[in-house]
Structure 1
Amino acid sequence: MDDKYTNAREHFFAAIRALSASADSIQARLIEANVNIVNVTIDEFNGDRELKIKFAKLLDLLAIDQDDLETVAVENAAHMSDFDAVKVADLICDFYYEIT
């Protein structure tokens, strides 16, 4: 594994652990995952336009209003339907797969 996206991989791996290692609701697990994902910046994907766009779309799903990304991501996840939360969780897992 190369050093490209090391920081992003670490945070996304922690997010996936939060999604999978709990009996809490999917919304609660997504909130925990968001804490890790918001530590990744879009600049980490400079040089890979496709990943940058996918990450931006994921951030848009997590937090439409990006003034305080972490707070908004928590609020959005708390009010997502189970179906929407599962879709976002799937996107997180897919994104992690792409950066590994």
Structure 2
Amino acid sequence: MNIFLEYETLRKIVGYRFVLTRHTTDEAEAQFFLNEVAVLFHDSPAVITAIRDRHSKLEVPDRQNDNLVTLFKEMCKVLKIKNDGLNDEFLLRPFSRRTP
């Protein structure tokens, strides 16, 4: 387990969430970080379940945001990051000039 890489991956996924929660053409880098999750969190069953759920429902638009929030929350639990003050809406509405 490389805790630094796990934190960095979570930081980047959260940082790029504007790409993951909207239809854009800038998805490549954000998808790269999502693909790292399975390797970096291989020993965290809840994170693996969350990333599998997101992957298995790629074609179900209504589920993608819910699955992304679940993934954020599970990664935060593993890394002992408190996110009590951040509700699902906050996680899904990142700071961005883009319109929904």
Q: How does 1:44-63 map to 2 (within 5 A)?
A: 44-62=40-58
Which stretches in structure 2 are left out of the alignment for 5+ residues?
A: 77-100
| Corresponding position of 1:6 | 7
Q: Give 5+ residue unaligned stretches, structure 1.
A: 21-25, 63-75, 77-83
RMSD of the alignment, in Å? 2.9
Give the structure 2 partner of residue 92 of structure 1.
68
- Cα deviation for residue 7 of structure 1 reads 3.0
For 2:56 and 2:29, the matched residues in 1 are separated by 15
TM-score normalized with structure 1 length:
0.51
Larger helix fraction of residues: 1
- 1:33 and 1:97 mapped to 2: Cα distance? 21
Instruction: Report the count of equivalent residues.
Output: 72
Paired residues for 1:20-59 under 5 Å: 26=22, 28-29=23-24, 32=26, 35-39=29-33, 40-41=35-36, 42-59=38-55
Give me the whole-angstrom Cα distance separating, in 2, the residues matched to 1:9 and 1:87.
Answer: 20
**Which amino acid counterpart does residue 55 of structure 2 have in structure 1?**
L
TM (normalized to structure 2)? 0.51
Q: In percent, how many aligned pairs have the same letter?
A: 7
Deviating above 4 A after TM superposition, structure 1's stretches of 4 or more consecutive aligned residues are 31-35
